[in-house]
C-alpha cells in the first residue's frame, strides 16, 4: 500500500461479532456505511445507484428481528453492494451501457434472493464496464483505485465498482460476475480477495448475461476466511473445518502463466512459494498448454453470446451509442460463423473434462493473478492500448473460466511490492468449499 492509499477494509469477522454481541446495530452500521460512501464516493465513483432510504428500512427490520430472537445467520444486518448486472427489485439495471435494454433486464433472481434470506442489507449497485466486456471503457473511465488516492490507476474489470467499494470499506462485502477474470482481476489490482464460484455453484438467473458457458457469480471480501463465511452462509451451513498449509498439494502450471511478469509481481509470487514450501506445502510443476487456447475461444464465444442476447437489430440500430472498446469486440462477432461457434463451444466442454482429469490429486493450481501492477490510467487512451492491456492482464484469469473452474485471488502485496499484487488459486468445478479452505490455509501461511 502506498502512503496515499486508503486503509484496508474492515473484515466481516469484526462486523458480525459486533452485531451479535449487541455492540452495534444494523441501522448504525448502515448509517456509518452511507456516511463513508458520502465522504469517498465523489472521488471513487464506485456506484451507479444508492438507496439509503430503503437500506435503512431493511436495517430497522433486521434489528427488530434480532431483538425478537430471530437469527438469519452470520450475515444478518451486513451491508452489501452488487454489480449493476444483478437485477434488484426497486433498483435500475443498466449493465454499464447507454443502450436501451429495458426489455432485456431479467427479474430479481436466486442470488439476490439468497442475500436477502441471509439478512443482508443491499445499499446499492456498483459500476461495470459496458455489458462486462473487458476491464476498461474509454467514454466511461473506471472508478478510482483506492490503492493510490493521488494518481488514477487501472482497476481491472468488469466488476471494478464492487472491487473498489470493497477496497474502500464501503460495504461488508460486495458481489460481481466473472466471465474471464472480472472478479479476480480487479481484486488483484485493488488489493482485496476475489472469489469466483463455479458456473453452477450460485444461481445466475436475475443476472444480465455475457456468455452462459463462462459466466459465474463471485464476491469481494477482506480475507479468504470472509469469502468462506459468505459462501457457507448463503448455503445455510457453517464453513468446512480449517486445514493447514502442511500437506497441501499445489500445481504450478507451465510457462504461459509466468511470462512477462512485472518484477514486483514475480518477486511477490516467488516469496509466496517460498513461504508455502516452508509451511509444508508440496508445490510441483504440471504443464497446462491448453491455456494458450484462451484467445481463440474467447474471441468467438463471448462477443457472439452477447450479440445473440442483445439482438443484431438492436446492436445495428444503436451502434453509435456503444463504447469504442465494447463495439470493437462486438464487431468481431458479426463475422463469426455458426460452425466456428459450435466448434469452440464443443472445445470448451472437452477442455473442462480434460483439465478436471489432470487435476486429480491436487488441491489447487497456483499462479500470479495478474502479470502486471495497477498502472496509471493515463497511459491508456486508445482502443488498441486498452485491448492490449486487457489481453495481458487477463492472461492468467481467463483459463479458469475456459476450464470451468472455481478460483480465488488473494492479496500478496505485503510480500514485496508498493502496489497491489494477487495470488490466484483455481480448482475444478464444484470444489468451491474445499478451494476456500485451501485459500484460508495459504492466506495463513503467507501472513
Distance from C-alpha of 87 to C-alpha of 101, rounded to nearest angstrom: 13
In a domain, 212, yes or no: yes
The reply to whether 279 and 219 lie within a common domain is: no
Predicted pLDDT at 428? 96
- What pLDDT, on the 0 to 100 scale, is given for residue 188? 98
pLDDT at 4: 63
Range of the domain at 128: 12-235
Q: Residue 158: CB partners within 8 Å, gap ≥ 6?
A: 83, 96, 128, 129, 132, 133, 134, 135, 176, 177, 179, 182
For residue 181, pLDDT over 50 is answered with: yes
pLDDT at 337: 92
Residues 133 and 254 both lie in one domain = no
One domain, residues 58 and 152: yes
Set 87, 158, 216, 233: catalytic member: 158
Confirm if 276 and 283 have CB atoms less than 8 A apart.
yes
428 is catalytic: no
From 159, 182, 211, 223, the catalytic residue: 182
| Whether residue 10 has pLDDT greater than 80 | no
For the segment 203-212, what is each residue's pLDDT rounded down to a tens digit? 999 999 999 9
Q: Which of 83, 125, 211, 428 is catalytic?
A: 83
**CA 235 – CA 79 distance, rounded (Å):** 18
Mean pLDDT of 299-328: 95
Dist. CA 255–CA 206, nearest whole Å: 38
Is residue 54 over pLDDT 70? yes
330 within domain boundaries? no
The predicted model gives 333-356 an average pLDDT of 93
Residue 212 pLDDT: 93
Residue 225 has pLDDT above 70, yes or no: yes
Grid cell in block for residue 113: 434472493
Cell of 126: 456498483
Known active-site residue 196: no
In the chain, the number of structural domains is: 2
User: Counting Cβ atoms within 10 Å, is residue 13 exposed (0-12), middle (13-18) or buried (19+)?
Assistant: middle
Whether 158 sits among the annotated catalytic residues: the reply is yes
Q: What's the whole-number mean pLDDT along residues 388-395?
A: 94
Q: Does residue 220 or residue 140 have the better pLDDT?
A: 220
Same structural domain, 274 and 220 = no
pLDDT at 392: 94
> Considering the chain, what percentage of its residues have pLDDT values greater than 70?
99
Task: Find the helix packing angle between 224-235 and 12-20, rounded to 10°.
Answer: 50
| pLDDT on residue 3 | 46
Q: What percentage of the chain reaches a pLDDT higher than 90?
A: 91
Amino acid at each position: 500500500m502506498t502512503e496515499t492509499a486508503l486503509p484496508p477494509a474492515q473484515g466481516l469477522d469484526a462486523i458480525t461479532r459486533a452485531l451479535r454481541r449487541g455492540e452495534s446495530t444494523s441501522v448504525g452500521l448502515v448509517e456509518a456505511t452511507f456516511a463513508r460512501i458520502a465522504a469517498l464516493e465523489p472521488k471513487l465513483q464506485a456506484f451507479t445507484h444508492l438507496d439509503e432510504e430503503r437500506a435503512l428500512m431493511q436495517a430497522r427490520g433486521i434489528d427488530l428481528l434480532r431483538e425478537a430472537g430471530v437469527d438469519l445467520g452470520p450475515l444478518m444486518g451486513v451491508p452489501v453492494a452488487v454489480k449493476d448486472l444483478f437485477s434488484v427489485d426497486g433498483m435500475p439495471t443498466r449493465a454499464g451501457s447507454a443502450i436501451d435494454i429495458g426489455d432485456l433486464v431479467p427479474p430479481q433472481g436466486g442470488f439476490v434472493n439468497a442475500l436477502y434470506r441471509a439478512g443482508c442489507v443491499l445499499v446499492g449497485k456498483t459500476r461495470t464496464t459496458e455489458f462486462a466486456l473487458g476491464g476498461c471503457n474509454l467514454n466511461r473511465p473506471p472508478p478510482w483505485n483506492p490503492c493510490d488516492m493521488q494518481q488514477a490507476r487501472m482497476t481491472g474489470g468488469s466488476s471494478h465498482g464492487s472491487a473498489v467499494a470493497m477496497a474502500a470499506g464501503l460495504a461488508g462485502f460486495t458481489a460481481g460476475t466473472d466471465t474471464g477474470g472480472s472478479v479476480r482481476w480487479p481484486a488483484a489490482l485493488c488489493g482485496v480477495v476475489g472469489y469466483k464460484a463455479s458456473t453452477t455453484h450460485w444461481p445466475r438467473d436475475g443476472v444480465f448475461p455475457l456468455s452462459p458457458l463462462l459466466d459465474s457469480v463471485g464476491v469481494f471480501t477482506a480475507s479468504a476466511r470472509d469469502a468462506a463465511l459468505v459462501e457457507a452462509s448463503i448455503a445455510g451451513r457453517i464453513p468446512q473445518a480449517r486445514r493447514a498449509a502442511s500437506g497441501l498439494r499445489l500445481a504450478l502450471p507451465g510457462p504461459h502463466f509466468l511470462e512477462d511478469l512485472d518484477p514486483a509481481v514475480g518477486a511477490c509470487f516467488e516469496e509466496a512459494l517460498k513461504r508455502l514450501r516452508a509451511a509444508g506445502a508440496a508445490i510441483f510443476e504440471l504443464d497446462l498448454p491448453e491455456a494458450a487456447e484462451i484467445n481463440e475461444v474467447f474471441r468467438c464465444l463471448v462477443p457472439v453470446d452477447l450479440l445473440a442476447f442483445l439482438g443484431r437489430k438492436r446492436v445495428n440500430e444503436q451502434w453509435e451509442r456503444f463504447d469504442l472498446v465494447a463495439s470493437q469486440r462486438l464487431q468481431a462477432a458479426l463475422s463469426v460463423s455458426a460452425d466456428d461457434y459450435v466448434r469452440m463451444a464443443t472445445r470448451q466442454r472437452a477442455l473442462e473434462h480434460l483439465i478436471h482429469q489432470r487435476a486429480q490429486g491436487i488441491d489447487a493450481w497456483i499462479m500470479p493473478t495478474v502479470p502486471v501492477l495497477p498502472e496509471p490510467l493515463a497511459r491508456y487512451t486508445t482502443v488498441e492500448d486498452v485491448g492490449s492491456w486487457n489481453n495481458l492482464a487477463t492472461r492468467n484469469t481467463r483459463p479458469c473460466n475456459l476450464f470451468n473452474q472455481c478460483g480465488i485471488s488473494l492479496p500478496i502485496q505485503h510480500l514485496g511490492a508498493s502496489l497491489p499484487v494477487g495470488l490466484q488459486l483455481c480448482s475444478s468445478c464444484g470444489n468451491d468449499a474445499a478451494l476456500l479452505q485451501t485459500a484460508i490455509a495459504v492466506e495463513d501461511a503467507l501472513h
